Amino acid sequence: MKLGDVRRIHSALAHTLLNVWPICPLAQQVVQSELEGWSLRSRDTADKYLRLIIGRLRSGGVEQSVSDVLGGVQNELQSIDGYLNSMFDMTVARVRDCYQSWADWTVPTVRLEVSAARNPIYPDHASFGELGAVACVPPRKGTDPAVVKLTFVPSLLGPPSWASVPYLLCHELVCHANQAAPMDSEDPFAEGWMDLVAKRLHDHWIEEIFPWAPALARDAANRLYYLIEQRWPRMPEPHMTTRAARKVGRVAATWVEKKLQPFQDVQEPVPALVRLSLQLNRASPTFAGRVAFIGKVNNAGISDHELQAKLLAELRRWLEGHSSADNILSFE
Ligand SMILES: [Zn+2]
């Protein structure tokens, strides 16, 4: 079996178990140990390997509802790449519409590239079936198509990892595919502020993007959302630095979100923070400018009352249609 085959088998198993996963702790343990041990079976055919996993689950005494759905894994194997494409196409369409409605969209086309990796990518300790998926958008030139690279780690690819794919896609497409500034993993605006916006949109769209188990997808996204701002002693770089930047950016977005809330027009299809952020992501072309903006917002929110009054006045003008994202970026 090639690594790519294992990725597809584990995805199909994860997809099949989506709805029964939360109710069978025993299945969670058995699945995790099978996922981890896949390399011992690398000489098997895909078919034999899949039968072995199903057999282990059934003989392990899992809940009847788990046993009942296992017969469907083989069929899901045929559909699994179709599911990925459907999640991707739907997310691209939603994000593009949103940018086109409230800011602008400059990306000619966006492609999905799926691959598999042997080693864990997150430095954290994973719960059963978690942290088996990661995504990025490599820098692109001019009119090149944007590429979203989705990488699965088969040894961790259980239902929670599979259900976290929509959040990963929302992050890459909302934060990065259309951003005006060059990519930088320490950008607190792209990785923190816009990530909060991506999460809000994810929660809004999830029934459509992940119709198979939206509640599990929400839960998986929540867990990942909080995990990727956690830091602990001796955490390896770049995570120590990138997570700090993410946290600082999220604090700024949260403060502005709270200030905009009272002015929320219920008729508007998306919250004011989302509209403003899409414009800011297009209007801020440099990493240094983004760092400075987040710094100013956080100072305004915490200690500098004069600066706070200026930011609030500028936000008010923006809400009334008398100010632009450029003015908000340069408030001081
Ligand atoms: Zn990112």
pLDDT for 73-121, tens place per residue? 999 999 999 999 999 999 999 999 999 999 999 999 999 999 999 999 9
- For residue 136, report the distance from its CA to the centre of ligand 1, in Å: 7
Please give the pLDDT value at position 143. Answer: 80
* Whether 158 contacts 130, CB under 8 Å: yes
Sign of CA dihedral 296, 177, 200, 24: negative
Please give the pLDDT value at position 133. Answer: 98
The number of beta carbons lying within 10 Å of the beta carbon of residue 187 is: 26
- For residue 70, report the distance from its CA to the centre of ligand 1, in Å: 35
- For residue 189, report the distance from its CA to the centre of ligand 1, in Å: 10
- For residue 175, report the distance from its CA to the centre of ligand 1, in Å: 7
Please give the pLDDT value at position 144. Answer: 87
How many CA atoms lie less than 13 Å away from 299 in the CB half-sphere? Answer: 12
The 8-class DSSP code of residue 311 comes to H
- For residue 185, report the distance from its CA to the centre of ligand 1, in Å: 7
Instruction: Write out residues in the chain with pLDDT < 50, as ranges.
Output: none
Please give the pLDDT value at position 267. Answer: 79
Please give the pLDDT value at position 42. Answer: 87
**Residue 280 CA: distances (Å) to CA of 204, 219, 275:** 21, 29, 9
